[in-house]
């Protein structure tokens, strides 16, 4: 391992500071589904891809899954074959107008609470509301008993929409690209989570860091994983999501990669991730 690379990673901090709040899956506050947000304020790290394919893999394992698309770009909604411009109602109405979430859930490979471009206005609309950070938590109360897992896809920012997701969640999965510069953003996410734990949701923690777009031929990618494991230990999932064009091809067909290429290694990677996620819950009840 390149020592220089490690010591020049100041934002990742030391071992001593990190374990607090990592992988502490405490009891679910309201019973019912385990609520997991996939978050990283950096764009293009495979949040949406991981949400879709983990959801599909959990369905294959017989779990009841609701996916909540909280990104105004609506990539996840589109990747399951819906045209966000034709949707009359979306998570915007749920968060801002308190529309029951049941009314916007569509049925795809999993149940899907859809996004639309209107969601871009939710940050502003929520800002002046009392309880603005808890709109999603409240919205999920009525459906959490109907599912085993609720997975939340978040936008690439740490704004009010993401704060709603972190406040509603039992745990956070953080997809990271296997690149040195991508790792540095983790400190900022941790600082936000610290604030959420102090003020809004004491039980939320990073339950897993997921290395994505891994190219094992590159020394740089292998080193990035070493840095991750040195800093976060067993919070890093064992599953590595490798770089392949399959993940870009599947959404064009409105499918997860598990449906698009069921026998391929791309699908298999998310099945492995699903097993790790299920094992976490079995360990903590």
Ligand X SMILES: Nc1ncnc2c1ncn2[C@@H]1O[C@H](COP(=O)(O)OP(=O)(O)O)[C@@H](O)[C@H]1O
**Which positions lie near ligand X, rule CB under 6 A?**
43-49, 75, 156, 212-213, 241, 243-244, 247-248
Answer with the entry of Mg ion, ligand X, none that 101 interacts with (C-beta below 5 to 8 A by kind).
Answer: none
DSSP string, 140-166: HHTTGGG-SEEEEE--SS-SHHHHHHH
Strand order across the beta sheet in which 149-153 lies: 105-107, 111-113, 65-69, 149-153, 34-38, 171-177, 205-212
Looking at beta carbons only, is 171 or 175 nearer to ligand X?
Answer: 175
Measured from the CB of residue 188, what is the shortest distance to ligand X in angstroms?
15
The residue among 164 and 212 lying less far from ligand X, judged by its C-beta, is 212
Q: Which of the choices ligand X, Mg ion, none does residue 121 contact, using the CB cut-off of 5 to 8 A by kind? A: none
Sorted by sequence, the CB contacts under 8 Å of residue 219 that are 6+ apart come out as none
Q: For strand 205-212 and strand 149-153, is the pairing parallel, antiparallel, or unpaired?
A: unpaired
Closer to ligand X by CB, 156 or 159: give it: 156
Nearer to Mg ion, 38 or 227 (CB): 38
92, 119 Cβ separation under 8 angstroms? yes
Q: Could you say which of Mg ion, ligand X, none residue 244 binds, taking C-beta under 5 to 8 angstroms by partner kind?
A: ligand X
Binding-site partner at residue 49 among Mg ion, ligand X, none, CB < 5 to 8 Å by type: ligand X
Measured distance CA(149)–CA(19) in Å, rounded: 25
**Smallest distance from ligand X to CB 243, Å:** 4
Contact 211, 237 (CB under 8 A): yes
106 and 114 in contact (C-beta within 8 Å)? yes
Q: Which does 224 bind (CB under 5 to 8 A by kind): Mg ion, ligand X, none?
A: none
Q: Give the single-character DSSP code of 242.
A: B
Name 85's Cβ contacts closer than 8 Å, sequence gap at least 6: 116, 117
Q: How far is the CB of 71 from Mg ion (least distance, A)?
A: 5
Nearer CB in complex with Mg ion: 12/209: 209
CB of 44 to ligand X, least distance (A): 4
> How does strand 149-153 pair with strand 65-69?
parallel
| Nearer of residues 45 and 221 to ligand X, judged by Cβ | 45
Task: Tell me the residue number closest to Mg ion, measured at CB.
Answer: 48
19 binds, among ligand X, Mg ion, none (CB under 5 to 8 A by kind): none
Q: How far apart are CA 66 and CA 95, in angstroms?
A: 16
- Exposed, middle or buried: residue 112 (CB in 10 Å: 0-12, 13-18, 19+)? buried
What is the closest distance, in whole angstroms, from the C-beta atom of residue 177 to ligand X in the complex? 9
The distance of closest approach from Cβ of residue 38 to ligand X in the complex, given in angstroms and rounded to an integer, is: 8
Instruction: Find the shortest distance in angstroms from Cβ 175 to ligand X.
Output: 6
Q: Which two tokens stand for residue 225?
A: 């994983």
Pick the closer one to Mg ion by CB: 32 or 156. 156
From the list Mg ion, ligand X, none, partner contacted by residue 45 (C-beta under 5 to 8 A by kind):
ligand X
Residues near Mg ion (CB under 5 A) are 47-48, 75
């Amino acid at each position: 391992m390149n020592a220089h690379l490690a010591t020049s990673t100041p934002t990742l901090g030391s071992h001593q500071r990190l374990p607090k709040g990592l992988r502490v899956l405490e009891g679910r506050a309201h019973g019912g589904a385990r609520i997991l947000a996939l978050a990283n304020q950096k764009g293009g790290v495979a949040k949406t891809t991981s949400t879709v394919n983990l959801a599909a893999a959990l369905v294959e394992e017989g779990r009841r899954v609701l996916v909540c698309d909280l990104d105004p770009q609506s990539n996840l909604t589109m990747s399951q074959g819906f045209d966000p411009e034709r949707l009359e109602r979306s998570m915007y109405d749920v968060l801002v107008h308190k529309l029951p979430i049941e009314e916007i859930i569509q049925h795809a490979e999993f149940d899907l609470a859809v996004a639309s471009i209107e969601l871009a206005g939710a940050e502003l609309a929520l800002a002046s509301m009392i309880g603005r950070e808890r709109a999603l938590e409240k919205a999920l109360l009525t459906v959490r008993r109907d599912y085993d897992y609720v997975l939340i896809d978040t936008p690439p920012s740490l704004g009010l929409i993401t704060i709603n997701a972190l406040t509603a969640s039992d745990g956070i999965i953080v997809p990271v690209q296997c690149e040195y510069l991508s790792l540095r953003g983790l400190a900022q996410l941790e600082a936000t989570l610290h604030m959420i734990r102090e003020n809004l949701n004491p039980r939320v923690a990073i339950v897993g860091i997921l290395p994505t777009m891994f190219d094992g031929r590159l020394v740089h990618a292998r080193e990035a994983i070493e840095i991750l494991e040195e800093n976060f230990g067993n919070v890093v999932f064992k599953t590595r999501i490798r770089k392949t064009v399959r993940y870009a091809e599947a959404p064009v067909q409105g499918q997860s990669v598990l449906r698009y290429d069921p026998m391929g290694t791309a699908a298999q990677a998310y099945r492995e991730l699903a097993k790790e996620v299920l094992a976490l819950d079995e360990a903590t009840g």
